[in-house]
Amino acid sequence: MRLLPALAALALAGAARAEVVDSQPNGFEVTQKADIAAPAARVWQALSQVGAWWNSKHTFSQDAHNLSLELKPGGCFCETLPGGGGVRHMIVVWLQPGQAVRFSGVLGPLQSTGAAGHLTWTLKEAAGHTLLTQTYDVGGYAKGGLGTLAAPVDRVLGEQLGRLKAYVETGKPE
């Protein structure tokens, strides 16, 4: 019986299309797209509920419920850490409510490099579905080059987009 949920999860995850658009020693661009069976307003609302759909394995605290996201100019994509600590992953630098948001910052292990990045989510609704496009551009310095990180970053962000899609469509990220 465990096979059926696993196959369903693979089908949902496969619905997101991922691509390393460019990869150089000084940076990279990755793009993912997902067709989500929900209106853009529902997808937009779910974006701010990041702790409900982000994978806990890809947080510093190992608990996605410690994540928060304020969809407003200057809003923080932040994480609370035990003992009063915290992480500012990204800041909202451009916003069109219900349509697009752009963040400045770097995620995860990229924070220990000299990299800078911009993550953009755009939503386009048609016939009750929303095409969500996620683009992440990263540039700067990392020992050994940033280009080698493009594929792993693409996989992690693609996984999160698949989880968001599942969360919006089923109420569960897996």
Q: Does pTM surpass 0.75? A: yes
Side-chain half-sphere of 118: how many Cα atoms within 13 Å?
9
Single out the residue of 131, 144, 142, 160 nearest to residue 30, CA to CA: 160
**For residue 17, what pLDDT is reported?**
74
- Smallest CA-to-CA distance from 52 within 68, 39, 40 is with 68
Domain 17-170 -> CATH class? alpha beta
pLDDT, position 16: 65
Residue ranges covered by each domain of the chain: 17-170
Which pLDDT value is given to residue 92? 98
Question: 137: pLDDT confidence band, cut at 50, 70 and 90?
Answer: very high
Mean per-residue pLDDT, 75-94: 97
33-58 pLDDT, tens per residue? Answer: 999 999 999 999 999 999 999 999 99
* Band of residue 172 on the pLDDT scale cut at 50, 70, 90: very high
**Residues 148-153: contacts with CB under 8 Å, at least 24 apart:** 149/28, 149/109, 149/110, 150/20, 150/23, 150/28, 150/29, 150/30, 151/20, 151/23, 153/28, 153/30, 153/107, 153/110
Quick one: pLDDT band at residue 32, thresholds 50, 70, 90? very high
Burial 5-38 (b: 16+ CB within 10 A, else e): eeeebeebbebbebeeeebeeebbbbbbbbebeb
Q: Mean pLDDT of all residues in the chain?
A: 91
Share of the chain above pLDDT 70, in %: 91
What's the confidence (pLDDT) of residue 164? 98
